[in-house]
């Protein structure tokens, strides 16, 4: 059944409220924010609620309400939702708990949730177990508690599964204008992405923040990301928690490298959704995106009248993807003229206090810096306490920043190193002038990095649709190494010259035929090295026979292979299936370096060769492939093509593939290619 539009629910003209105390609070909050529509309380015995006539049931209402707040117990909730759906209501917020989120305590929780969804039919519902929503643009609330929001003409939308986190975000004093605040609860019918797809269409919404506890419908998130690009409205997400992995970390290294959190990171990056780590980062990033949008590059500048602050800014960028790019030669004369001879010209720049309180000279200095074509220009400025100090000189600096930004048309922000040193009233004034009021150095630098990443993603071509293939039912089987290599060879990957043998004597004969030196492996053993099921550099048939006899007690046959020449690097290529996000590809330093370096990247599928090259270029082991300190080098393009072949194999076999692990992929000296020295494949029968 196709769900109806959410428009009536999120922008209602008429609201019905069901229940006692919580319903009364909804009416009170609507009155406080100046809701101009009609509100219809429904209660079995009360005559009036907050001065409004009470109706006895859904059937008595004057018309089908655009939105309803259902603040009754869980059993009555289902009945009321069914009645609202029958009369054609626009949607409902289900406040009650005790549904699928409470299956550990209530045996019928999941069953009751199914009844609720069935009762709603195609009428949109939020929750259950959620507070609902606040529309700060129109003053419409389905919200049973106090909050810190005010009416705004435009602003960001914030959507979260947690009602308490939503309340906390409304209490921020950092100047962030919030247009919509919505909670999704346990997302029985309507998920965060569905809500975001509804609010992003409102022209008054500038950006979206998501607080995600668990991914729901990935295709809805993908659709949201596409709409975000089309409308030029950026999205950031705070993804918390780790989904359960359908993996056996004991079998392969790929499973341990491709943890669900790393996969989530890769998915969000592919979709062009910025990922924040904390709620303060979310607020500061949303402020930047609201005022300035995504950044064109990661080059930023910073000015402060303190060397200590300049150092803090520089240090904050060390582990971040931002660059305090050097000043351009054409900037130097103007800066020298305005700041004098005693100031060391650099970025970040300590401009000292020689121009403090001088509007003209400060403006000239800021103009000179802002003309350096930086994506974002920052001025560090902590405001004094207005109850004890005089803020006149600080406001002079604000005026100088505003003048410079207007003159150069550059993006600018003022950074308070301590959040409490950016008063809310000043933050609001700055935003009116198009200046971002930042709170905290680390949060500011994080915001710049995230905004630059979104800008970069939008500059790239739209990614292909994510691999979305349902897994075939059936028992899992693990192919032997010989079988796995045969599959990979057919897919275009090079494997060692080899053959299988059922006995030690036949293993020796195969070795004689292949030529020495030989690598001998026992078939049917997962951790060969630990089990003593592998022998390398065997020089003659007798050595092969003796090695085979030593591992006979664990072997279900043997794999005899020609030894591979010494590689310049060893890689791991693998795929593992996340239960929510599906199959992804992992590429990184392989062999014994897997745990030592933890040098890997995750690629979402399908993937292009250009994307593979960009990802491999971020690995530290790339230096070995390119010939570190004069050592033998290989060809990065050959490595890319090998990874592409593995990726294509995964995509073509996604319907039954559970796991692929190639470790190591031997990267041989230039013109000698790459060889998959070991391989594991697990799939459904």
Question: How many angstroms separate the Cα of 24 from the Cα of each of 18, 31, 81, 168?
Answer: 9, 11, 19, 22
- Homologous superfamily, domain 497-562: ATP-grasp fold, A domain (3.30.1490.20)
Question: Encoding tokens for residue 652?
Answer: 């073509």
Question: Encoding tokens for residue 297?
Answer: 């590059």
294 closest CA partner among 226, 367, 223, 376? 376
Question: Quick one: how far is CA 304 from the chain centroid?
Answer: 32
What pLDDT does 483 receive? 95
Residue-range domain boundaries for the chain: 6-275, 291-459, 497-562, 569-684
User: Nearest 5°: phi and psi at 439?
Assistant: -120, 110
Task: Count CB atoms within 10 A of the CB of residue 493.
Answer: 23
Report the C-alpha gap between 253 and 42 in whole angstroms: 59
Q: What is the CATH number of domain 6-275?
A: 3.40.50.261
Q: SS3 for 554?
A: coil
CA quadruple 59, 63, 67, 73: dihedral, nearest 10 = -10
What pLDDT does 255 receive? 45
What pLDDT does 276 receive? 97
Report the C-alpha gap between 581 and 600 in whole angstroms: 19
Strand duo 178-183 + 155-160: pairing? parallel
614 closest CA partner among 647, 591, 574, 587? 587
78 closest CA partner among 103, 102, 95, 56? 95
What pTM, to 2 d.p., does this model score? 0.91
Domains 6-275 and 291-459 share a fold: yes
Report the C-alpha gap between 113 and 129 in whole angstroms: 11
Ordered DSSP codes for 407-461: HHT--EEEEESSGGGS-HHHHHHHHHTTEEEEE-HHHHHHHHHHHHHHHHHHHSP
Question: How many angstroms separate the Cα of 177 from the Cα of each of 10, 157, 207?
Answer: 18, 9, 11
Q: pLDDT averaged over consecutive 10-residue blocks of the chain (685 residues)? A: 89 97 96 97 95 96 98 97 98 95 87 96 96 97 96 98 94 98 94 96 98 85 96 96 42 47 90 97 98 98 96 96 97 96 96 93 97 98 95 96 98 97 97 97 98 97 88 88 96 96 96 96 84 94 96 94 94 88 90 73 94 94 90 92 97 94 94 94 92
Instruction: Please answer whether residues 639 and 577 qualify as being in contact, where contact means their C-beta atoms are separated by less than 8 angstroms.
Output: no
What pLDDT does 596 receive? 65
Q: What is the CATH number of domain 291-459?
A: 3.40.50.261
Question: Encoding tokens for residue 91?
Answer: 């949607």
Among the CATH numbers 3.40.50.300, 3.30.470.20, 3.40.630.30, 1.10.10.10, which is that of 569-684? 3.30.470.20
Question: How many angstroms separate the Cα of 98 from the Cα of each of 17, 18, 19, 115, 260?
Answer: 20, 18, 17, 13, 28
Question: Quick one: how far is CA 78 from the chain centroid?
Answer: 35
Report the C-alpha gap between 370 and 303 in whole angstroms: 10
What pLDDT does 111 receive? 95
Instruction: Please answer whether residues 143 and 127 qualify as being in contact, where contact means their C-beta atoms are separated by less than 8 angstroms.
Output: no
What pLDDT does 248 receive? 36
Q: What's the sign of the alpha-carbon dihedral 241, 247, 249, 254? A: negative
What pLDDT does 1 receive? 65
Report the C-alpha gap between 201 and 227 in whole angstroms: 9
């Amino acid at each position: 059944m196709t769900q109806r539009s959410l428009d009536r629910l999120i922008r209602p003209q008429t609201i019905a409220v069901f229940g006692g105390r919580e319903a009364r609070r909804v009416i009170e909050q609507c009155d406080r924010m100046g809701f101009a529509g009609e509100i219809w309380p429904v209660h079995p015995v009360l005559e009036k609620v907050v001065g409004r006539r009470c109706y006895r049931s859904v059937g008595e209402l004057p018309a089908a309400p655009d939105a309803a707040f259902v603040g009754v117990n869980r059993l009555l909730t289902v009945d009321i939702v069914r009645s609202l759906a029958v009369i054609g209501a626009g949607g409902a917020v289900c406040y009650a708990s005790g549904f699928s989120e409470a299956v550990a305590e209530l045996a019928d929780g999941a069953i009751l949730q199914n009844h609720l969804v069935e009762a709603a039919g195609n009428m949109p519902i939020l929750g259950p177990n959620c507070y609902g929503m606040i529309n700060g643009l129109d003053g419409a609330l389905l919200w049973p508690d106090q909050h810190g929001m005010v009416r705004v003409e435009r602003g960001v939308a914030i959507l979260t599964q947690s009602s308490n986190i939503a309340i906390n975000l409304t209490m921020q004093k950092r100047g962030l204008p919030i247009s919509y605040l919505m909670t999704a609860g346990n997302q029985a019918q309507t998920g965060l992405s569905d809500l975001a797809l509804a609010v992003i269409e409102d022209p008054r919404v500038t950006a979206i923040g998501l607080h995600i506890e668990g991914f729901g419908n990935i295709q809805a998130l993908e659709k949201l990301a596409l709409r975000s690009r089309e409308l030029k409205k950026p999205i950031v997400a705070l993804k918390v928690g780790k989904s359960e992995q359908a993996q056996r970390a004991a079998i392969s290294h790929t499973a341990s490298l491709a943890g669900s959190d790393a996969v989530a990171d890769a998915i969000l990056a592919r979709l062009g959704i910025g990922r924040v780590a904390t709620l303060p980062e979310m607020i500061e990033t949303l402020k930047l995106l609201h005022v300035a949008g995504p950044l064109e590059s990661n080059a930023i500048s910073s000015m402060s009248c303190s060397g200590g602050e300049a150092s803090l800014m520089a240090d904050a960028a060390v582990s971040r993807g931002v660059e305090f790019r050097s000043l351009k030669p054409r900037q130097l004369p103007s800066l020298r003229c305005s700041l004098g001879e005693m100031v060391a010209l650099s970025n970040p720049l300590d401009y000292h206090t020689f121009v403090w309180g001088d509007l003209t000279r400060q403006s000239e200095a800021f103009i000179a810096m802002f003309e350096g074509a930086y994506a974002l220009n920052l001025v560090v400025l902590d405001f004094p306490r207005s109850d004890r100090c005089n803020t006149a000189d600080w406001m002079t600096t604000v005026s100088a920043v505003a003048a410079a930004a207007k003159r150069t048309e550059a993006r600018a922000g003022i950074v308070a190193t301590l959040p409490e040193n950016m008063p809310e009233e000043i933050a609001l004034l700055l935003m009116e002038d198009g200046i971002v009021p930042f709170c905290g150095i680390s949060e500011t630098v994080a915001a710049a990095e995230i905004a630059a990443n979104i800008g970069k993603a939008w500059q790239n071509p739209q990614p292909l649709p994510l691999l979305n293939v349902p897994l075939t039912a059936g028992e899992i089987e693990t192919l032997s190494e010989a079988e796995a290599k045969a599959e990979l060879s057919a897919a275009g990957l090079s494997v060692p010259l080899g053959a299988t043998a059922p006995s030690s004597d036949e293993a020796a004969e195969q070795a004689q035929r292949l030529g020495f030196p030989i690598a001998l492996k026992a078939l049917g053993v997962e951790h060969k090295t630990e089990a003593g099921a592998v022998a390398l550099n065997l020089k003659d048939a007798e050595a092969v026979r003796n090695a085979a006899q030593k591992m006979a007690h664990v072997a279900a046959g043997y794999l005899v292979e020609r030894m591979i020449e010494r590689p310049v690097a060893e890689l791991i290529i693998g795929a593992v299936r996340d239960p929510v996000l599906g199959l992804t590809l992992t590429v990184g330093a392989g062999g014994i370096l897997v745990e030592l370096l933890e040098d890997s990247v995750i690629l979402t599928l399908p993937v292009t060769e250009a994307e593979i090259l960009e990802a491999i270029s971020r690995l530290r082991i790339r230096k070995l492939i390119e010939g570190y300190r004069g050592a033998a080098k290989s060809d990065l393009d050959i490595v890319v093509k090998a990874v592409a072949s593995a990726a294509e194999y995964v995509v073509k076999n996604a319907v039954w593939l559970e796991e692929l692990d190639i470790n190591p992929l031997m990267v041989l000296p230039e013109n000698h290619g790459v060889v998959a020295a070991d391989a594991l494949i697990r799939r459904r029968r």
